[in-house]
Amino acid sequence: MSTSPAETLATFANPAPQRDFRIHMEIPEFTCLCPKTGQPDFATLILDYIPEESCVELKSLKLYIWSFRNIGCFHEDVTNRILDDLVSATQPRYMQLRARFYVRGGIFTTVVAEHRQAGWTPAPGIPLAAFDSQSPTRD
């Protein structure tokens, strides 16, 4: 597999399609460029999803995320674009992407985008401890 930035996402078969289970990923090294100034923007991406038939393969996700490094994007656009591409590749039951951008001009920006499969509703939850954040930025 390549080690260069790539715009494609690989998937693999969901090993337990009979149940809802949550996949949680933190991607602390996201970088793109400000489309106005050309300055780099840095963010931690937090991806949570419930797969249907396929899951995203991690190395392809890393190379896909890397492909934004030299692209000028507004925070809102890039968050929704990444979510759309991930949904297109995996067709999940549910997916949420939070993009927590580091301070720029004295402002922290967080963009949250969600996708729900038509007709899907989550099973009632059992209150368990949430995942501890591995990111240096906190909610």
Q: Which of 20, 32, 41, 77 is catalytic?
A: 41
Closest C-alpha among 113, 117, 133 to residue 20: 117
Q: Which of 20, 34, 48, 55 is catalytic?
A: 34
- At position 49, the amino acid (one-letter code) is Y
b/e per residue 77-108 (b: at least 16 CB within 10 A):
ebbeebbeebbebbebbbbbbbbbbeeeeeee
Alpha-helix runs per DSSP H in the chain: 58-66, 75-90
Closest C-alpha among 59, 50, 47, 36 to residue 100: 47
Pairing of strands 23-33, 40-50: antiparallel
- At position 26, the amino acid (one-letter code) is E
Is-catalytic flag, 85? Answer: no
Is-catalytic flag, 32? Answer: no
Query: Which residues are documented as binding site?
Result: 56-58, 75-76
Query: Which residues are documented as binding site for substrate?
Result: 56-58, 75-76
Question: Which residues are designated catalytic?
Answer: 34, 41
